[in-house]
Amino acid sequence: QDGYDLWLQYDKIDDDKVVENYLDHISGFHKFGSDETLDVATTELKTAFEGLVGQTLKELNSVEENSVVLGSEENLPSEIRAMLKSDLSEINSEGYVLKSLSLNNNRITVVTGKTDVGVLYGTFRLIKEMQLHNNITQCDIIDSPKIQKRLLNHWDNLDRTVERGYAGFSIWDWHHLPELIKPEYIDYARANASIGINGTVLTNVNASSLVLTSHYIEKVKALAEVFRPYGLQVYLTARFSSPMESGDLKTADPLDPEVRQWWKDKADEIYAEIPDFGGFLVKANSEGQPGPNNYDRSHVDGANMLAEAVAPHSGIVMWRAFVYSEDDPEDRAKQAYSEFVPFDGQFHDNVLVQVKNGPIDFQPREPFHPMFGAMPDTPLMMEFQITQEYLGFSSHLVYLPEMFEETLDEDTYVQGEGSTVAKVVDGTLSNKKLTGIAGVANIGTAKNWTGHPFGQANWYGFGRLAWDPYLDSEAIAKEWLKMTFSNEQEFVDPVKDLMIKSREAVVNYMTPLGLHHIMDTGHHYGPGPWVDDLGRPEWNPVYYHRATSEGVGFDRTESGSDALSQYAEPIREKYNSIETTPEKYLLWFHHVPWDYKMENGQTLWYNLAAKYQEGVEDVEEMVNTWNDIEEYVDDQRFEEIQMLLQIQLKEAKWWRNAVLLYFQQFSGKELPEFIPEPEYDLEYYQSLEFPYAPGISPSWH
């Protein structure tokens, strides 16, 4: 088992009763319609059935007893359509109905939707029911995605390096495209379709204009053709200065008529080749990327220009809000809100503003980004990071859906209690038609796609939450484990607990109590709270923790940067005081004296040490749990995970020792007795260098 098959493993079910149930109810399939999407659905069903129950699934010429009937609403015979009328009225264009019916005394299982993509999603659901060993005697499942644009964002460069990629090189083999279609492209599309991901941005946000040349459009087209039957649209990142880099124009000013025409022509050219091209993702005026500000124009000017170019083709523009400028270093956490909120309501209808989950940058824990809820007249798209840039790369087992869920569940209070981030993102809070969610992919050329075998759970879980942001991450973990490893409860329960706890573990051993951005600079691998010599203040960890002999933490209250004023009441008031701020966000919002007495009556210094120690112990527990389940997992994956957990344990200790020794210089206090004597001194930890840490792409050189 090398992990290549992801959660789509169709090994023979070893429970005879379960197999019997499936054989009793499914003997063949009949399809209505002749679309390529329907073809991939039936092929998948055949492969899965034959693998799971060990018998061929015949294609039938008509609907018979025990057949699976597949087809979109319009292609179904009227009798079946009539029976499903009310079910079909409940789903949207990508939803599905999976139902057991009796037709002319024949028992059948119908998989349908408004479109063939709905049928495909329904087919994957039926397969999943079997992978989970569920009874399919009385299927009655209706489901629809709650968010429209469910995208992966690949930070992949054309030279195949991947920014913040820890699973090898880019899976897009640009050099051999368009001719060479690798099986991975198809399996990638299958995997995404199985969880309902319907779009993929192929290229890095730190974009190259080369991908917009006709030479590359041809390659993109080849990928789009592979993905189309799976309901997966392709998107590209648009480098704002492309009109100049192409050699065509002397400016990229978004109000210049020639520039506007250039983008319209470019859009026409792309759509002529790829009629269902999704649109553009843009990082502008951020970290050196060009943008409208270069011409004294605004984000609205830039976004709307591109929006006009793709609008005739029903394309969209995802304009990123990840900006922080050199001119206003007071508090980086405030800048995106300050720059974007004044533009609320001014973007064209086909623009989404894409906002990271928190106001800094994909930390192990951040409070939700205050832009969520603050722009009721603009569709905001959530951006999560699936690749673990700040969470131990692909070496650490961290189950991210637990973290995604935490953000989605947070209450913004902008329209009173219950105004959750999920409701902003799915559009229900302010009645938005266009909705979206993106995850920065953790996929590469690694045989198992994601490097760490548990990284697959983060791809899977992202997809599930993109489909329904109200799902429970624990339930997602369980289904993933069953499909990926084993259905045995003795395996699933403890490993599910391990996954759920893994997120808090990484917070504990890296950045507990609201600490953030103290990773070593540049590569973000390992601790670097001491870094203070970089060009811009907010590139330095010392900017974020502000440790002195007085205390530690970033004062974002009224007496400090007042970033809190960007949140609604009662958050503002509650977090303004140390006593009422949840301890998990303490040092995010407050500069706190080392002797400050926390809820448990112990000092901050004591509690900080206790959290780091807890983090190490959490990983020790993970190691033990994994060792206990050996009999349920194939040797290859068992041993690989076992070895990776040892790396995680070593690095958790490294984090604890390095950070505590560093802060001890300021607190001036002994390490509490429960902290084992650090192996090395602070100078040693500070001297470590990682010139070849993975994930730094040429765009940073």
The residue ranges that bind ligand BDP (CB under 6 A) are: 163-164, 205-206, 283, 287, 322, 361-362, 389
Can you give the C-alpha Rg of the chain in angstroms?
26
DSSP 64: -
User: Residues with Cβ < 8 Å from 651, sequence gap 6 or more?
Assistant: 392, 395, 396, 526
Closest approach, Cβ 204 to ligand BDP, in A, equals 8
Q: How far is CA 291 from CA 270, 304, 332, 445, in A?
A: 21, 13, 19, 32
| Residues forming beta bridges with residue 612, ordered by sequence position | none
For ligand BDP, give the closer residue by CB, 331 or 361. 361
**397 exposure class (CB count in 10 Å sphere: 0-12, 13-18, 19+):** buried
3-state secondary structure of 687: helix
- Selecting among 5, 301, 383, 389, the annotated active-site residue is 389
Q: Which is nearer to ligand BDP, 77 or 698 (CB)?
A: 698
CB 381 within 8 A of CB 149: yes
Closest CB 176 distance from ligand BDP, rounded Å: 27
3-state helix, strand, coil in the chain (%, to 5): 45, 10, 45
Contact 672, 610 (CB under 8 A): yes
CB 119 within 8 A of CB 96: yes
Q: Is 175 helix (H, G, I), strand (E, B) or coil?
A: helix
Distance between CA atoms of 345 and 334, rounded to whole angstroms? 20
Q: Provide the 8-state DSSP code for 13.
A: P
Q: Which CB, 163 or 331, lies closer to ligand BDP? A: 163
Catalytic residue list contains 389 = yes
Task: Give whichever of 668 and 691 is closer to ligand BDP, judged by the CB atom.
Answer: 691
Q: Does a cis peptide bond (omega within 30 degrees of 0) precede residue 593?
A: no
Q: Which two tokens stand for residue 313?
A: 């083709």
Q: Closest distance between ligand BDP and the C-beta of residue 611, in Å?
A: 24
Q: Which residues pair with 351 in a beta bridge?
A: 317
Active site annotation includes 173? no
**Nearest distance, CB of residue 348 and ligand BDP, angstroms:** 23
CB of 634 to ligand BDP, least distance (A): 35
Between residues 144 and 442, which has the closer beta carbon with respect to ligand BDP? 442
**Nearest approach, Cβ of 320 to ligand BDP (angstroms)?**
7
Closer to ligand BDP by CB, 418 or 698: give it: 698
The pairing of beta strand 592-593 with beta strand 551-552: antiparallel
**Least spacing, CB of residue 506 vs ligand BDP, in Å:** 16
| Residue with smaller CB distance to ligand BDP, 156 or 389 | 389
DSSP assignment, residue 361? S
Tell me: cis bond preceding 183? Omega within 30 of 0 counts.
no
Of the candidates 73, 116, 361, 555, the residue annotated as catalytic is 361
CB of 701 to ligand BDP, least distance (A): 12
Pseudo-torsion of CA 154, 158, 163, 165, nearest 10°?
A: 70
Query: What's the chain's length in residues?
Result: 701
3-state secondary structure 536-559: CHHHCHHHHHCCCCCEECCCCCCC
Per residue in 341-356, is it b (16+ CB within 10 Å) or e — as a string? eebeeebbebbbbbbb
In the complex, the smallest distance separating the C-beta of residue 565 from ligand BDP, rounded to whole angstroms, is: 25
Spatial distance between the Cα atoms of 591 and 609, rounded to a whole number of angstroms: 17
Closest separation in Å from C-beta 239 to ligand BDP: 13
Q: Are 665 and 658 in contact (CB under 8 A)?
A: no
Does residue 361 have an active-site annotation?
A: yes
Question: What CA–CA distance (Å, rounded) separates 433 from 312?
Answer: 18
Q: Which residues pair with 320 in a beta bridge?
A: 354
Cα–Cα distance measured from residue 463 to residue 459, given in angstroms and rounded to the nearest whole number:
6
Facing residues of 429 across strands?
none
Q: Whose Cβ is closer to ligand BDP: residue 362's or residue 480's?
A: 362
CB-wise, 465 or 519, nearer to ligand BDP?
519
Q: Which residue number, 326 or 673, has a Cβ lying nearer to ligand BDP?
A: 326
Q: Point out the residue whose Cβ comes nearest to ligand BDP.
A: 361
H, E, C per residue of 599-623: CCCCEHHHHHHHHHHHHHHHHHHHH
State in angstroms the smallest separation of the CB of 514 from ligand BDP. Answer: 19
Nearer to ligand BDP, 519 or 645 (CB): 519
- List the catalytic residue out of 140, 258, 268, 287: 287
- Specify which residues 67 forms β-bridges with: 28, 108
Give the residue among 59, 53, 27 at the shortest CA–CA distance from 41.
59
What positions carry a catalytic annotation? 287, 361, 389
